[in-house]
Each structure stands twice: as C-alpha cells, then as structure tokens.
Amino acid sequence: MTQKIIKLTVRDIRFPTSLELHGSDAMHTDPDYSVAYVVIETDQGMRGYGLTFTVGRGTEIVVCAVEALSALVVGKSLEEIVSDFRGFYRLLSSDGQMRWIGPEKGVIQLATAAVLNSVWDLWARMEGKEPRKLISCIDFRYITDALTEQEALEILEKAEAGKQQRVDQMLKEGYPAYTTSCAWLGYSDQLLKQLCTDALSEGWTKFKVKVGADLEDDIRRCSLIRQMIGPNNTLMIDANQRWDVGEAITWVTKLAEYKPLWIEEPTCPDDILGHAAISKALAPLGIGVASGEQCHNRVMFKQFLQAEALQFIQIDSCRMGSVNENLAVLLMAHKFKVPVCPHAGGVGLCELVQHLILFDYISVSASLDDRMCEFVDHLHEHFISPVVIKNAHYMPPKDPGYSCEMLESSVQRYQYPQGEVWKQFKKQSLKD
C-alpha cells in the first residue's frame, strides 16, 4: 500500500526546567529543555512523529529550518523514500542551496534529524518491525576511507550468529543504563546525597557527575559521591566542553583519585586532535575520554575514531541525521573496536536512543563490555510510550514506531510562546 505524505507540522515545545536547574552544567547554566516536534501525515491517515532536542532559546530557528525542509518531504510517498533512503537522506542533507548553511551541521542538521526521525517512526509503524535493507539507508559519502559498504555488510552478516539469543536476553534483562539524575551542577550537596541514596536503593550502579565550573567544588562533589556509592560502583565525570586542552589534563588529573571511568566532553566538541591529546595524557591514569552529544556528523566521528581520540563513543539520536547517520557511526565504532555509550536525557532522547543501542547490541556489536546507555529521569510523562527502566536497565519498547509521540495535552500546554505554561510565566514576570 502506497502512502503519500501530505502534511508536515512542526511545533516549538519548551519546558521551564531552568527554574529548578535540572540539566544544568558548566556551559549550559539555565537550560529550558525543549523540542522541535514534527508530525507527518499520510493520505491514508497514518502519522509519524519525530523531534529534535534543544535547550530553549533558538528552538524557533530549528522550527524555521524544519519548515524549509518540509518542501522536500511533503508530496513524497513513504515507499519512494525508503526504496532509496540513501538518496533521500542526501536530498535533505545536500540540497544545492540549503547545504551552504550547514553542511550537515548545526541548525540544519538538527532539523534534518527531526524530520527523518518522523519518517523512521512512520516507517516502523507501517512495518510493525525493525526495517531491513539498513545498509541502503546509509550515505557512505566521505567515510569510505574508514568503512566501505562491503565492510558494513560483513559486520551485519557476522552478527547474525546468536541474534535471537540476544533478543531474548534483552527482552528479559534489558540494556544496562547509568544515571545522570543525581548530580547536576546546580544541585546542593544535600540533594545530591538524597538522590544517590534513592538511586542506590533502586538498583543503580553507575553514576555521572557534572564538573568543570570550580575545581574545589568538583573535588568535594566527587569525593562525596564516591563515598556514597562505594569503591565498586562506577563513576563518570562530565565537563560539558568547559576546558582548553592543557587545562583539561591538569584538572582531570586532580580528580583521578575518585577513579572516574571517563571524562566526558573535556573540551570543544570539534577538537579531534585535542581529544586525542587528552586521551593520551589520561591513559596512564586509567581514565578514558568520552564525547559525541554535540558531534554533528559521521565525518567527525570517523576522525575521532581514526585519531584514537575517544575511548567511548556517545551517539545522539537528534544531533546527527537520524537513524541513517547513526547506523554509519555504530558500524564504524564496531570496526574501530570502540564501545558506544549513547547520550540521552533531554526531552525524548532516551525514548529515541534506546532503539539505536538495542540495535547495536543485537545486530552490530554483540557485546555489553564497557557499554551502557545514559538515563535521566525527567519529562518522560509527556510521551505516549515512555521508556521503561527496570533494575537500572532499559526494557525494550513494545509499541511499534520510534517512541517519540507526545501527549497532545503536553504539546498544547508547553507550546512556546502560546501554551498555557508560558503565558502564565509572562503574566507573572509582568507582575514582578
């Protein structure tokens, strides 16, 4: 049955998270977690839902970019798209005029992610199962020096062995997760302690702490959390790009005694050679380097891998060009033997990325060594099919699709600036 996409809508949805400093870190001190939320509709009445994550101001720019891309989607049939998904990906990412304002980076790439996420959602709902012909969705342009189509195929074919066993295992145990909810930068020590105690009792064993604003604070907070979780649980630290290269090495060395598994985003997310230098300097301390949530395309990840700059690859479901581009990165990471530990949190990132990391385990890496997926316990209540966490594991989603359909009531309430929540803020601030 051919389904023609006849409509695309996009809305600017913002949650006033800055009020309580949820999500605060060394560079994003007052985020209002937000999404550009896309719904596509077919002539048969089917819908696909997609989004990209943002942190407040500027979401309207991404919305504007989605509207610009809309002309490339509306009028096409789903069949036409998925029969040459590679070509469609390139159409969106390489439009002869619009590529100038990227290419494949920043606002236009975030918008591409939102649009393509909705297409994947629609496709998955139609098929009711994991789509095939995955290789044909990947644009290998600019990465053939690291991974050819043939190599990609061989990786997938090799992972056929034991696949059903891994599916069963995931259905039973779920995919291991770590929590970032205990130690945002803006939280007090008291709150941090309380949240750690709660998390431990819920079965969490891996914890991430935000660092980078003040060294004395970091030492106190890392010491406190290591004390709370004990020597055998896992601690990660995250600087959100706060440092220069030399500074990163000095600062992290001073936190080494708390045995972090990794330092995340020590410096500029574009600095491949900088991350390589930091990796080399920290290796003797047993600390790895992780990055990726602001890594904007497969070409950047390719280089991070080629330069041995990262020991943990953090893919993101909304920063790059949707599933298409993430597939390329999963396959490259496998070839270069670097574990993938996705970035999540935000709004809807957990819901989306669980699909990718389950796919990685079942169909690519076949390994859980050094692997875990981020979890943040916020804003899931706005989704129709929120993630299910059991004993610190992501339980595989049961509903068809890409899991990012939001409650229409939430969309209405938080739409910016006309939703009820934002109208109320405006009234209050006028009163103040």
**Of 265, 316, 256, which is closest to residue 290 (Cα–Cα)?**
265
Dist CA 30 CA 186 (whole Å):
9
Nearer to a second copy, 124 or 248 (CB): 248
Instruction: Give the relative orientation of helices 298-306 and 272-282 as an angle to the nearest 10 degrees.
Output: 40
Q: Does 253 bind a second copy (CB under 8 A)?
A: no
Please list the residues that pair with 393 across neighbouring strands: 176, 390
Q: Does 102 bind a second copy (CB under 8 A)?
A: yes
> Rule CB under 8 A: which of 265-294 touch a second copy?
267-274, 277, 294
Q: Which of 62-70, 83-91, 116-124, 329-337 is the region at the interface with a second copy (rule: CB under 8 A)?
A: 62-70
Nearer to a second copy, 60 or 151 (CB): 60
Report how many residues bind a second copy under the rule CB under 8 A.
Answer: 62
Q: How far is the CB of 94 from a second copy (least distance, A)?
A: 7
Nearer to a second copy, 206 or 319 (CB): 319
DSSP 40: E
Could you say which of 6, 74, 299, 388 contacts a second copy (CB under 8 A)?
299
Q: Does 60 bind a second copy (CB under 8 A)?
A: yes
Dist CA 236 CA 357 (whole Å):
19
Dist CA 85 CA 99 (whole Å):
18
Could you say which of 221, 302, 334, 343 contacts a second copy (CB under 8 A)?
302
Q: Does 246 bind a second copy (CB under 8 A)?
A: yes
Both tokens assigned to 254: 């001073």
Cα-Cα-Cα-Cα dihedral sign, residues 51, 59, 269, 389: negative
Q: Does 106 bind a second copy (CB under 8 A)?
A: yes
**Of 358, 332, 338, which is closest to residue 151 (Cα–Cα)?**
332
Q: How far is the CB of 24 from a second copy (least distance, A)?
A: 9
Catalytic residues: 210, 343
Dist CA 234 CA 360 (whole Å):
22
Could you say which of 5, 51, 78, 107 contacts a second copy (CB under 8 A)?
107
Could you say which of 6, 21, 27, 384 contacts a second copy (CB under 8 A)?
27
Q: Could you give the string, one character per residue 134-173, with x where binding to a second copy holds by CB under 8 A and - elsewhere? A: -------xxxxx----------------------------
Q: How far is the CB of 142 from a second copy (least distance, A)?
A: 4
Nearer to a second copy, 189 or 270 (CB): 270
**In angstroms, how far is CA 38 from the centroid of its own chain?**
17
Buried b or exposed e, range 77-113, using 16+ CB within 10 angstroms: ebeebbeebbebbbebbebeebeeebbbbebbbbbbb
For residues 366 and 166, the answer to whether their CB atoms sit within 8 Å is yes
How would you classify the pairing of strands 234-238 and 206-210? parallel
Q: Does 99 bind a second copy (CB under 8 A)?
A: yes
Q: How far is the CB of 409 from a second copy (least distance, A)?
A: 25
Q: Does 30 bind a second copy (CB under 8 A)?
A: yes
For residues 335 and 155, the answer to whether their CB atoms sit within 8 Å is yes
Dist CA 241 CA 265 (whole Å):
5
Q: Does 12 bind a second copy (CB under 8 A)?
A: no
Could you say which of 4, 28, 47, 193 contacts a second copy (CB under 8 A)?
28
Q: Does 307 bind a second copy (CB under 8 A)?
A: yes
Nearer to a second copy, 224 or 307 (CB): 307
Residue bearing tokens 């002869």: 96
**Of 358, 301, 359, 296, which is closest to residue 328 (Cα–Cα)?**
301
Nearer to a second copy, 68 or 285 (CB): 68
Nearer to a second copy, 36 or 362 (CB): 36
For residues 135 and 156, the answer to whether their CB atoms sit within 8 Å is yes
Tell me which residues touch a second copy (CB under 8 A).
27-32, 54-58, 60-62, 64-65, 68, 94-110, 141-145, 241, 244-247, 267-274, 277, 294, 296-297, 299-300, 302-303, 306-307
